[in-house]
Amino acid sequence: MKADRRARILATLGPASSSLEQIRALAQAGANVFRLNFSHGSHEDHAERHRLIRQVEQELGRPIGILMDLQGPKLRVGRIAGGKTTLTAGQAFRLDLDPAEGDAARANLPHPEIFAALEDGTDLLLDDGKLRLRVDRHGPDFAETTVLVGGPLSDRKGVNVPGVILPISPLTPKDRADLEFGLSLGVDWVALSFVQRPEDIVEARGLIGGRAWIMAKLEKPAAIEHLDAIVGQADGIMVARGDLGVELPPQRVPVLQQRIVRRARAAGKPVVVATQMLESMISAPVPTRAEASDVATAVYSGADAVMLSAESASGQYPVEAVTIMEHIIREVEADPSWRANLDATHSPAEANIPDAICCALRRVAGLLEPAATVAYTASGFSALRASRERPATPILALTPQPETARRLALAWGVRPVLFPEQLRESTEMIDRAAAAARQAGLAETGDTLIVIAGLPFGRSGSTNLLHIAQVS
């Protein structure tokens, strides 16, 4: 039997990967979840991709998750006369609310919320950090700055304000319209951009309700100051390294990546490492050795999933990128030090019954080396708590809920399976678990299984049973 891969692959769809054949090929190559990037494309584009994913899901006979990624607020300067100017280090430069075209001395910044949050001495970054300004004096509608790092400045380039919490919602009117549309399609995850505080997750949940799980994208340094609270509020976490790296020195990003992954793992929340993982494969058929090591580092740290962005959305080699990522994951997971590292970075369980059961599951799996763990789960809770323990066995999650199965496609080591039958007693549960493990190719006659569940059946968060069974 082919060994089950624990880390998952999240692949972005786009112009290079929007046909039925392309989506099927990506799924067959190893993609577990597909990302719809609402910063690009029309609602019609995303609706068609959603439809094709569900068709591929039916063809392959396994749940496939769909994540919609909201654009979030985009802070940009206004128009520049002639489309472009050049700023020189040491010169004065003014930003203000005047909508007139900018020049080498000033530019429009149509965001009063930025001026309201500034302090003298604050740095402003333009064009993904290529230009840096220091605020010398400011008011409610202007900022007088000195250029620290100069260069060309074009129309509508982005603005970042590192170290400052901006008084704005992560959900723009466009995001709210996109969100309602995506939820009407039936997406499984919503990635929330521009998260700064736990209240941002609360706001989004008020709109989403239980229709999808929320993934907080950590791309603002301000979010790191509230990391534990954000992890507590969200259903999953994404380490958005590209945007995070704009506002932070590059040497800090790997350290924060490890910190975020550890916090998410400790909380039992799926965590995705994203951005520039195999970026050279946008135009090359193989990655650099540094990129392969980057993917491997995320897998060694126990991240639930690694993500492809432009590599699969607009690159020349989308299927090859997924295939290479799948091969890297398998190579790492075959290394004995991978297991040792997971054990060394494991966080103690919480003092409650579900975590006690799953903690015991981890110990039993290490001692008996069973073929698989079977987790009965309606809401996904049991499977996620089992996944948190990073047990030595694959986790077969049997659920009657299609949306739960699709959401769990992102979780480390979890193989979700739709199981619509109603169970009435524990003996029937054990028999059905053995049959499901055999059918999934995880177990054969004579193998040992661990079964976890909550009694009475169907009650969310009630994991209270662990049973060791033999497959007959």
Q: Which residues are catalytic?
A: 35, 76, 217, 275
Tell me the sheet residues that pair with 450. 373, 468
How far apart (Å, rounded) are the C-alpha atoms in residues 130 and 228? Answer: 31
Task: Kindly report the backbone phi and psi dihedral angles of residue 4, in degrees, each rounded to the nearest multiple of 5, phi listed first.
Answer: -80, 130
How far apart (Å, rounded) are the C-alpha atoms in residues 411 and 259? Answer: 19
Angle, CA of 15, 20 and 25, to the nearest 5° = 90
What dihedral angle (degrees, nearest 10) is formed by the CA atoms of 113, 119, 121, 123?
-20
How far apart (Å, rounded) are the C-alpha atoms in residues 184 and 207? Answer: 13
Q: Are 182 and 214 in contact (CB under 8 A)?
A: no
Question: First-to-last CA distance in the chain?
Answer: 18
Closest CA to 452 of 414, 420, 421, 405: 414
Angle, CA of 250, 218 and 397, to the nearest 5° = 125
Length of the chain, please?
Answer: 472
E-only strand ranges, 314-413: 372-376, 395-399
